[in-house]
Amino acid sequence: MKKFISIAFGLAALPFLVQCASQSDVSELRYQMRIVNKKIEDMKSSTVDPLQKRQAAATGQMEQLEKEILELKNQLEDTAHLNQRLKEQNKDLQESISNVAQEEASKREEALSRLEELQREKEAQLADLNNKLNAQQESVKAIQEARLKDAERKAKEAALNAELAKKKTQSIKPGASSAPTDNKTSAHIQSEKKKTKAASTPGQETTKTPPVSEAAAAPEKSPQPAQEAPTPAVSSATTVKAESKPADSNFKKAQKLYEKNSYAEALPLFEQVAADSSTGEGVDARYMMGECLFNQKEYDKAIMQYQKIISQNSEHTKAPAAMLKQGMAFEKLADKETAKVIYKKLLKKHANAPEAAKAQENLGKL
C-alpha cells in the first residue's frame, strides 16, 4: 500500500516537476515511470490477480459455507421436529406401558385372590375330609372294641359253662339214680344260663352249654367230666384263630373279583379285610377299596380311602401309590390346583418311589 501511495504522489507531482525540470530529467522521469508502470503491472499480475483469484475462491467458499450452514440449520430443524415427535411418542408409550402394567398388576392380584380363595376352599375340603376320616376311624375303633368285648364275653361264657359242667359232674354221686340227678343238674344249668344271658349285652349270642347226659349216665367214670370241661375254652381260642382265615380268603376273593372288573362286588370284601386289624393286609385292602371306587368313577369316595392310607400309614409302601391315585382323582374332578399340590408333596416326600416319575409326568401336563 505504501508503494501505491508514493506512486500516486509521484504522478500527482509530475506536472509540476515537468515545468521545473529539464529535458533530461523529463526523459529520466519517463523512464522511471515506465519502470514503475512495469512494476505496477508485474505487481498486478503477481499480487493483485492472485489476490482477486483468492478473493473469488474465498467468496465461493463462503457461499458454499453459507449453503452448508443453511443445510445444517435445516437438518437441525428436522432433528428438532423428530425429537419432538419422539418425545410425544415416548409419552404415549409410557402411558400405554403404565396402563398395561396396571392392568397386569390388577389381573395378578385377581388371580392371586382367586388362588387364595381356591386354597382356602381346598383346605376346608381337606379339613372336612379329615373330620370324616377321624369319624370313620372312631367308628372303626368302636367296632373293634365291641368285637374285643364280644370275644371277651364269649370267653367268659365258655369258662363259666366249663365251670358249670365241672360242678355238675362233681355233684353226681355213685349209685344214685340217673334220672333225678339229671333233672336237678339240668335245672341248675338252665338257671345258670339264664343268669349268664341276663348279665350279657342284649342282642349278642351266648355260647351253648356242652351236653352232659353221658357224664350223668356213667357215674363210675369220674375223670371223664374233667376232660370235657376245658372243651369250651379251647373252642373259643380256635374261633379267634379262625377269624383270620376268612379275612385272607376274603382278600383273595375280592382280588379275583377286581381282576374280573366286578368292582361293586369286590368292594365290601376289601372293606371287611380292611376293618379286621388282626391281619397284615388292612392297608392293601384299603388301597384296593380306593381302586374299586376310582374305577367306578366315585372319585370323592376314592380320595377319602387314599387319604386314610396317607394320614394313618404314611411310611407304608402303598402311601406313594395312594398319593399318586389321589392326585389323579382330583384331576378327574377337574381340580388341577389340588392335584398339583399332591404331586409336589409326593415328589418331596417320596422322591425315590417308582410313582414319583409318573407324578412328575402328570405335573408337567398340568
* 37 within a domain of the structure (yes/no): yes
Distances from the Cα of 298 to the Cα of 211, 223, 294, angstroms? 53, 63, 6
349: nearest Cα among 320, 308, 313, 311:
320
Which of the four pLDDT bands, split at 50, 70 and 90, describes residue 293? very high
Lowest mean pLDDT among 8-12, 86-90, 213-217: 213-217
**Could you report the per-residue pLDDT of 83-130, keeping only the tens digit for each?**
999 999 998 998 889 899 989 998 988 998 888 899 899 888 888 888
* 344 within a domain of the structure (yes/no): no
Using CA atoms, how far apart are residues 301 and 298, in angstroms rounded to an integer?
6
pLDDT given at position 346? 93
Tell me if 327 sits within 8 A of 333, measured CB to CB. Answer: no
* 268 within a domain of the structure (yes/no): no
Q: Average of pLDDT values for 189-205?
A: 47
Q: Which domain holds residue 121?
A: 1-133
* 185 within a domain of the structure (yes/no): no
Is the pLDDT higher at 167 or at 265?
265
Is the pLDDT higher at 46 or at 356?
356
Is the pLDDT higher at 203 or at 246?
246
Q: Average of pLDDT values for 21-49?
A: 81
* 46 within a domain of the structure (yes/no): yes
Tell me if 290 sits within 8 A of 322, measured CB to CB. Answer: yes
Is the pLDDT higher at 231 or at 127?
127
pLDDT given at position 78? 93
Residue 77's Cβ-count burial label (10 Å; 0-12, 13-18, 19+) is: exposed
* 238 within a domain of the structure (yes/no): no
Which amino acid belongs to residue 45?
S
Tell me if 10 sits within 8 A of 36, measured CB to CB. Answer: yes
Inter-axis angle of helices 2-20 and 23-43, nearest 10: 160
* 91 within a domain of the structure (yes/no): yes
User: Please, what is the Cα angle at 343 between 339 and 346, to 5 degrees?
Assistant: 140
pLDDT given at position 310? 93
Does position 54 have pLDDT exceeding 50, yes or no?
Answer: yes
pLDDT given at position 215? 35
Using CA atoms, how far apart are residues 241 and 278, in angstroms rounded to an integer?
10
pLDDT given at position 151? 67
What sign has the CA pseudo-torsion 111, 114, 116, 119?
A: negative
pLDDT given at position 160? 82
User: Please, what is the Cα angle at 324 between 320 and 327, to 5 degrees?
Assistant: 140
Is the pLDDT higher at 336 or at 52?
336
Residue 243's Cβ-count burial label (10 Å; 0-12, 13-18, 19+) is: middle
User: Alpha carbon 218 to chain centroid distance?
Assistant: 79
pLDDT given at position 280? 72
* 162 within a domain of the structure (yes/no): no
Provide the 10 A C-beta neighbour count for residue 266: 25
Distances from the Cα of 97 to the Cα of 104, 110, 122, 216, angstroms? 10, 20, 36, 108
pLDDT given at position 180? 43
Which amino acid belongs to residue 87?
K
Count of domains for the chain? 1
Q: Average of pLDDT values for 62-75?
A: 91
Place of cell 508502470: 37
